[in-house]
């Protein structure tokens, strides 16, 4: 693809895990990239790798999405650099382990800002130019946790992922006629730094191998899903089977399963 015709993707949380893997997949498909996160050294190393491997233009944008001014600044920097974003990946995220009252409200407020508000605002800011150009792709990295019943020790995390799924559904239905596809990507347990950051590695290390996926596969399947216009996508056969059971089983039974599973891999168990 020549430079003039190359589309651009903005990936948040591109310094590790699923975001880093998505950046590689997107670059392999010929997108130029804007890579956003807090760790500049990691972003610069990835930008160098993508430029060399795929001959794309990869730029680094250091941003803390807990800062309420970050989405507007990201948007302005993309615009000032002449970047029209064709593919937006709202991926940055983390977990707050423990019960609802174990964190301060300031910690919860930062969490809500990163996990929900920033994703909604970036979508709102970048959507008009996608509509204008009759092409846009948005991947909101949600989670299987947004589809299963909430469990103890998972309060705002599961809620934030359910929010992303509902946001994706509505924005997708509103904008499909404008050539914009929106996908809520709902991975299950994925090998990344996520559980080290949230301090839950010990709890999840006993889970069987079939419950885990590689970030690379999640990213490949997520990219394919948004390109074909699938609105909610659960990567991996095992995760899809879990999602199917959730739809079929009575709620009381699901809550009792959630209670038992919660004891296995959350910091707070009923
Ligand atoms: N791993 C799983 O089992 C799993 C399952 C389902 C869904 N997910 C979701 O997948 C997404 C990616 O997580 P991951 O598993 O790839 O975890 P990860 O390896 O820990 O990567 C998280 C990414 O988010 C960025 N990030 C975190 N807080 C940020 C902030 N305040 N501002 C900007 N960037 C921030 C991190 O960058 P910096 O630290 O450099 O800022 C990093 O690039 C998350 O939304 C997560 O909820 C993960």
Cα 232 from Cα 185, distance rounded (Å):
6
Does the pLDDT at position 106 exceed 90?
yes
Query: Tell me: the pLDDT tens digits for 46-94?
Result: 999 999 999 999 999 999 999 999 999 999 999 998 889 999 999 999 9
Does the pLDDT at position 8 exceed 60?
yes
Specify the higher pLDDT residue, 17 or 259. Answer: 17
Mean pLDDT within 37-42: 98
Query: Tell me: the pLDDT tens digits for 162-182?
Result: 999 999 999 999 999 999 999
Q: What is the mean pLDDT of the chain?
A: 93
Which residue in this structure is represented by tokens 């948005």? 138
C-alpha angle with apex 180: 176 to 186, nearest 5 degrees?
A: 95
Percent of the chain with pLDDT over 90: 79
Protein residue whose Cα sits closest to atom 41 of ligand 1: 38
Query: Tell me: the pLDDT tens digits for 191-223?
Result: 999 998 888 898 888 889 999 999 999 999 999
Ligand 1 centre to CA of 19 (Å) is: 7
Structure tokens at 202: 């010990």
Ligand 1 contacts CB of residue 16 (under 6 A) = yes
Query: Where are the chain's structural domains?
Result: 3-265
Structure tokens at 179: 């050539």
Q: Phi, psi (5° rounding) for residue 233?
A: -130, 125
Domain 3-265: state its class: alpha beta
């Amino acid at each position: 693809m020549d430079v003039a015709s190359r589309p651009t993707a903005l990936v948040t949380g591109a310094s590790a895990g699923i975001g880093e893997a998505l950046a590689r997949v997107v670059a392999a498909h010929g997108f130029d990239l804007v890579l956003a996160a807090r760790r500049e050294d990691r972003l610069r190393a990835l930008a160098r790798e993508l430029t060399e491997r795929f001959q794309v233009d990869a730029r680094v944008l250091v941003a803390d999405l807990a800062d309420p001014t970050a989405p507007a600044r990201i948007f302005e920097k993309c615009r000032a650099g002449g970047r029209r974003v064709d593919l937006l990946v709202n991926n940055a995220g983390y977990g707050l382990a423990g019960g609802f009252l174990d964190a301060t409200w300031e910690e919860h407020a930062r969490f809500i800002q990163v996990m929900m508000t920033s994703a909604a605002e970036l979508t709102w800011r970048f959507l008009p130019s996608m509509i204008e150009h009759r092409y846009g792709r948005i991947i909101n990295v949600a989670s299987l946790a947004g589809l299963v019943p909430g469990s103890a020790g998972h309060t705002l995390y599961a809620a934030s992922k359910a929010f992303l799924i509902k946001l994706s559904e509505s924005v997708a239905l509103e904008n499909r006629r404008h050539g914009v596809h929106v996908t809520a990507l709902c991975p299950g347990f994925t090998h990344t730094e996520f559980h080290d950051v949230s301090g839950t590695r010990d709890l999840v290390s006993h889970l069987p191998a079939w419950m885990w996926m590689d970030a690379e596969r999640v990213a490949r399947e997520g990219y394919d899903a948004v390109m074909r216009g699938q609105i909610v996508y659960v990567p991996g056969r095992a995760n899809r089977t879990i999602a199917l059971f959730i739809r079929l089983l009575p709620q009381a039974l699901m809550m009792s399963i959630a209670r038992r599973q919660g004891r296995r891999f959350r910091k707070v168990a009923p």
